[in-house]
Amino acid sequence: MKVLAILYNGFKAAKAEPRLLGTVENELGLRAYLESQGHEYIVTSSKEGPDSDFQKHIADTDILITTPFHPGYLTKELMAKAKNLKVCVTAGVGSDHVDLNAAVERKIQVLEVSGSNVVSVAEQVMMSILLLVRNFVPAHEQAISGNWQVSDIARNAFDLEGKVVGTLGAGRIGYRVLQRLVPFNTKELLYFDYKGLPKEAEQAVGARRVEDLKEFVSQCDVVTVNAPLHEGTKGLINKDLLQHFKPGAWLVNTARGAICNADDVAAAVKSGQLRGYAGDVWNVQPAPADHPWRSMRNPLGGGNGMTPHYSGTTLDAQTRYAEGTKQILQNYFEGKPQDPGNVIVGVGEWLPDQKCLEVLMIRCW
């Protein structure tokens, strides 16, 4: 079989650090295994446009491996050209770069390594909340630039204790965020989700469900987005919804960039309506150099906690998703069943309990 992997370039870093498995250079550690089984293995970072390796090779590829960090966008049109494609594996979590409806139609399985980086992302959320609320970035900029003016930092620095924190989505990642928030003595923990958590799960973290989205955001000092991207969440956080946020609230989004309207969020930070925005996901990746989320600042000079998309690709996470990808391939080659938690689209069907993608948010809490 022909296996095609779209990964990011690691350059020198990947040569020096073999644990950077998710790079073109280190090939998810799969070459020896795949070749020993007689398969062809193509690895590339070239993914945009008709002359890219991605579009060139997809025509006769049997198995496609992609990641959310440098996503190979598998559109309906591209899928139509992929005559041999049987399986798409996401080395990581989040398969919104694949047209899932088209995959169902064409009987292409979509699998991901669902447990591989939910903790990594939950940790990134905790870090992002703390650094926004505590106004870290302007403070660090003073430290490295030789300045010392505590009042300029302190005037916009707060404690997380006593604040209301809410997660939009209480699935595998959102629930882990709630768990990690428990000891911080927040005033309240809230969640918004299309259905409620099981009672015991809710009680274990002391979280309260708010069923109306506008009401939910209006009660939160901090909103963290932990939902998948689909038609129901695309552009959900826009100018209209932002007007219902508490003035000066903080927003963290490590889920998918397109859940937020980029210009509306940037404008809200610049005006101070949002005190800050942090996250590592962007509506286009790599983000262009002039993306408004790179330069936005609140009126007091802080409130930008952005990074490139890396939270789910720590060295610890890379080990897990490389191993998980190999396991998925092995199961496929040997005709063994896949871990149901890893199946996004089965052969020609959504999983029985998957009426909509939102189920993904909840089933593995």
> Which are the catalytic amino acids?
117, 256, 285, 309
Closest to 168 measured CA to CA, from 271, 275, 245: 245
Q: How many residues sit in the footprint of a second copy (CB under 8 A)?
A: 76
Q: Which two tokens stand for residue 188?
A: 């309240």
- For a second copy, the closer of residues 30 and 344 by Cβ is 30
Nearest approach, Cβ of residue 9 and a second copy (Å): 7
- For a second copy, the closer of residues 253 and 313 by Cβ is 313
Nearest approach, Cβ of residue 177 and a second copy (Å): 10
- For a second copy, the closer of residues 19 and 39 by Cβ is 19
Residues 9 to 48 in contact with a second copy, rule: CB under 8 A: 9-11, 13-14, 16-17, 19-20, 22-23
HEC string of 192-225 equals ECCCCCCHHHHHHHCEEECCCHHHHHHHCCEEEE
Residues 304 to 343 in contact with a second copy, rule: CB under 8 A: 304-311, 313-318
Residues 74 to 113 in contact with a second copy, rule: CB under 8 A: none
Given 36, 289, 337, 355, the residue binding a second copy (CB under 8 A)? 289
Beta-bridge partner residues of 110: 88, 345
Nearest approach, Cβ of residue 253 and a second copy (Å): 13
Where in the chain does DSSP place strands (E)? 2-6, 40-44, 63-66, 87-90, 109-112, 164-168, 188-192, 207-209, 222-225, 249-253, 274-279, 304-306, 343-346, 349-350
Nearest approach, Cβ of residue 20 and a second copy (Å): 5
Residue 188 interacting with a second copy (CB under 8 A): no
Nearest approach, Cβ of residue 266 and a second copy (Å): 13
Distance of CA 113 to the CA centre of its chain: 13
Nearest approach, Cβ of residue 273 and a second copy (Å): 18
Residues 266 to 285 in contact with a second copy, rule: CB under 8 A: 280, 285
Residues 119 to 178 in contact with a second copy, rule: CB under 8 A: 119-120, 123-124, 126-127, 130-131, 134, 136-137, 139-140, 142-155, 157-162
Helix (H) or strand (E) holding 319: helix 315-334
User: If you ran DSSP here, which 8-state letter would residue 302 be given?
Assistant: -
Which part of the chain contacts a second copy (CB under 8 A), choosing from 35-43, 53-61, 115-123, 335-343? 115-123
Residue 201 interacting with a second copy (CB under 8 A): no
List, as one string, the DSSP characters of 74-140: B-HHHHHH-TT--EEEESSS--TTB-HHHHHHTT-EEEE-TTSSHHHHHHHHHHHHHHHHTTHHHHH
Residues 338 to 357 in contact with a second copy, rule: CB under 8 A: none
Give the Cα separation of 328 and 47 in Å (integer).
23
Buried b (16+ CB within 10 A) or exposed e, 98-107: bbbebbbebe
